[in-house]
């Protein structure tokens, strides 16, 4: 199948120009003007539109069994929602139960993701430490094409890992050419604060926010950065939500450490006032970790995206219905943590970021697609419109208007945290591997259309990140041997 996207302005993270895009099968074969288009090629009219690399959301939890519930959007509906909103690839978290084999968890995730309508990949979570985990991490990298390992520093008694486990796992990542990711909140302190709040009779959703102040996140972010530096590995901090965490990342980068930060579209736009809403349902629907913050933190996150100290905007799409949230009606600790955003990330960010002048259109491409493709080692196959890249792209109509509403969303949940947000700028069409997945309101992608994307290990040079590299002894001498 040959297709040409004609008459638009191609926008990459570093450049924009008027050009047509010629696609053969699932690959871009030419970008330019006056292309030699074969007779019979399908034409996608991009007049008046930007043609950008499809969004990549590196943080989703689809059909995730978490806190006693399974998130309502599975790989089919999560990825269909993504494509409708201009996102052509998601990276989901494969999370073994503590003690469960990573290999078994991987098989489970491959089975669940067969339904995906868009491309997808996985991060693997390290939820305990043992010789088995040490050994399986190598298989995960070398056989499964997963180059990132997630660590929860919160959720004590469930997924949380301690500092010794972080150190061991980070060092193993360094050895394998993989990168650790952290959910950075001090889980011990959160657990103590939760108990104290309950003892004072605070049971509602506001207790969730009170028990997870910015300091809890700032401390854990600093700690993870230092442990990563001691093991000589880069670090990616997921859902960076506050000034304290952002400043830790910015400081680390300024001192030569390779640390990345990922704000969520929710934290950029929504604030802690949501938890004061008189409706329990409204507040509980917005319970996620880290919680929404005071507006002062939003300004810091925007500044980070503008200055480059934060690199990626994600969603952490982990959608629970109102009924599922009721599990925590009497105890905020039991409200399943998570919100949605896959369908809305791009239009909301364009409206609040590009239309306000905070981000250029090239920066928009950087933070929604190109940066994460580079960080995850799949660039320029993903994240760029260029000859040889996968034909994942979004034809973006900057004048299209759309008001976010539960009434017209694909997500299976019964609310939307961005309800009523008026967007100007939305996808006219989304192409996934050269096929029109969405066009002018019509979803064409089908269950199972997506492919699993392997991500190769990083080169040792990329991983040799520690500031110790400036010390006289070779880094390898200083590194502790973590073989269990």
Which residues of this chain interact with Zn ion, rule CB under 5 A? 183, 316
The interface mask with ligand URP, positions 47-66, x = CB under 6 A, is --------------x-----
Least distance (Å) between residue 130 CB and Zn ion: 23
Reduced to 3 states, what is the DSSP secondary structure of residue 350? helix
Terminal Cα-to-Cα distance of the chain (whole angstroms)? 52
Which residue minimizes CB distance to ligand URP? 337
Least distance (Å) between residue 289 CB and ligand URP: 4
Binder of ligand URP out of 338, 340, 347, 425 (CB under 6 A): 338
Asked if 1 contacts 42 with a C-beta cutoff of 8 angstroms, the reply is yes
Determine the Cα–Cα distance for residues 15 and 13; give it in Å rounded to an integer. 6
Binder of ligand URP out of 288, 376, 393, 410 (CB under 6 A): 288
Q: In terms of CB distance, is 316 or 449 closer to ligand URP?
A: 316
Phi-psi region of 393 (alpha: psi -120 to 50; beta: other; left: phi over 0): beta
Q: In terms of CB distance, is 69 or 432 closer to ligand URP?
A: 69
Going through 213-368 in order, the beta strands assigned E by DSSP cover: 235-237, 259-261
Residues in 290-329 at the binding interface with ligand URP, rule: CB under 6 A:
316, 318
Q: In terms of CB distance, is 119 or 316 closer to ligand URP?
A: 316
Q: In terms of CB distance, is 63 or 449 closer to Zn ion?
A: 63
Does residue number 345 form part of the binding site for ligand URP (CB under 6 A)? no
Q: In terms of CB distance, is 231 or 289 closer to ligand URP?
A: 289
Residues in 170-199 at the binding interface with ligand URP, rule: CB under 6 A:
183
Going through 46-178 in order, the beta strands assigned E by DSSP cover: 50-53, 55-60, 65-66, 69-70, 87-94, 119-125, 148-152
In the list ligand URP, Zn ion, none, the entry touching 13 (Cβ below 5 to 8 angstroms by class) is none
Q: In terms of CB distance, is 231 or 315 closer to ligand URP?
A: 315
Determine the Cα–Cα distance for residues 1 and 42; give it in Å rounded to an integer. 8
- Spatial neighbors of 116 by CB under 8 A, at least 6 apart, are 75, 76, 79, 90, 447, 448, 449, 450
Q: In terms of CB distance, is 50 or 236 closer to ligand URP?
A: 236
Determine the Cα–Cα distance for residues 29 and 20; give it in Å rounded to an integer. 11
Does residue number 289 form part of the binding site for ligand URP (CB under 6 A)? yes
Asked if 32 contacts 62 with a C-beta cutoff of 8 angstroms, the reply is no
Least distance (Å) between residue 449 CB and ligand URP: 26
Reduced to 3 states, what is the DSSP secondary structure of residue 168? helix
Asked if 319 contacts 58 with a C-beta cutoff of 8 angstroms, the reply is no
In the list Zn ion, ligand URP, none, the entry touching 337 (Cβ below 5 to 8 angstroms by class) is ligand URP
In the list Zn ion, ligand URP, none, the entry touching 288 (Cβ below 5 to 8 angstroms by class) is ligand URP
In the list Zn ion, ligand URP, none, the entry touching 6 (Cβ below 5 to 8 angstroms by class) is none
Which residues on neighbouring strands pair with residue 51, listed in sequence order?
10, 395
Least distance (Å) between residue 118 CB and ligand URP: 20
Determine the Cα–Cα distance for residues 26 and 385; give it in Å rounded to an integer. 13
- Which residues of the chain form contacts with ligand URP (CB under 6 A)? 61, 183, 288-289, 316, 318, 337-338
């Amino acid at each position: 199948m040959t297709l040409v996207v004609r008459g638009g302005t191609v926008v990459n993270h570093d450049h924009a120009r008027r050009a047509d895009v010629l696609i053969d099968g699932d690959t871009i074969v030419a970008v330019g003007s006056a292309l030699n288009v074969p007779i019979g090629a399908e034409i996608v009219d991009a007049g008046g539109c930007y043609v950008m690399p499809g969004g990549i959301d590196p943080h989703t939890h689809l059909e995730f069994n978490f806190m006693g519930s399974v998130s309502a959007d599975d790989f089919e509906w999560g990825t269909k929602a993504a494509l409708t909103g201009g996102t052509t690839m998601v990276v989901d978290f494969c999370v073994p139960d503590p003690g469960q084999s990573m290999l078994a968890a991987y098989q489970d995730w491959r089975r669940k993701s067969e339904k995906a309508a868009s491309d997808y990949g996985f991060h693997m979570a390290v939820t305990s430490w043992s010789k088995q985990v040490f050994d399986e991490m190598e298989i995960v990298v070398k056989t499964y094409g997963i180059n990132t390992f997630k660590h929860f520093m919160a959720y004590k008694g469930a997924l949380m890992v301690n500092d010794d486990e972080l150190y061991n796992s980070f060092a193993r990542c360094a050895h394998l050419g993989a990168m650790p990711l952290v959910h950075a909140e001090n889980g011990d302190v959160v657990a103590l604060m939760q108990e104290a709040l309950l003892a004072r009779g605070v049971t509602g959703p506001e207790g969730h926010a009170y028990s997870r102040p910015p300091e809890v996140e700032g401390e854990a972010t600093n700690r993870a950065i230092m442990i990563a530096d001691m093991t000589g590995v880069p670090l990616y901090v997921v859902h960076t939500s506050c000034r304290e965490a952002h400043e830790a990342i910015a400081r680390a980068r300024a001192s030569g450490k390779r640390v990345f930060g990922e704000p969520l579209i929710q934290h950029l736009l929504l604030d802690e006032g949501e938890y004061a809403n008189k409706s329990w349902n409204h507040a509980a629907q917005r319970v996620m970790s880290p919680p929404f913050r005071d507006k002062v933190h939003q300004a810091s996150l925007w500044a980070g995206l503008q200055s480059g100290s934060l690199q990626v905007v994600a969603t952490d799409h982990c959608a629970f219905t109102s009924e599922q949230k009721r599990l925590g009606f009497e105890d905020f600790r039991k409200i399943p943590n998570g919100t949605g955003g896959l369908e809305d990330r791009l239009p909301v960010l364009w409206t609040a970021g590009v239309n306000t002048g905070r981000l250029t259109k090239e920066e928009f491409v950087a933070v929604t697609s190109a940066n994460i493709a580079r960080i995850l080692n799949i660039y320029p196959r993903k994240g760029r419109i260029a000859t040889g890249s996968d034909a994942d792209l979004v034809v973006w109509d900057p004048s299209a208007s759309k008001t976010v509403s539960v009434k017209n969303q694909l997500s299976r949940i019964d609310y939307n945290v961005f309800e009523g947000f008026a967007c100007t700028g939305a996808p006219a069409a989304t192409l996934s591997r050269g096929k029109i997945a969405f066009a002018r309101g019509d979803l064409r992608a089908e269950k199972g259309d997506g492919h699993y994307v392997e991500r190769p290990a990083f080169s040792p040079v990329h991983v040799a990140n520690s500031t110790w590299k400036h010390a006289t002894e070779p880094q390898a001498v200083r590194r502790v041997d973590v073989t269990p």
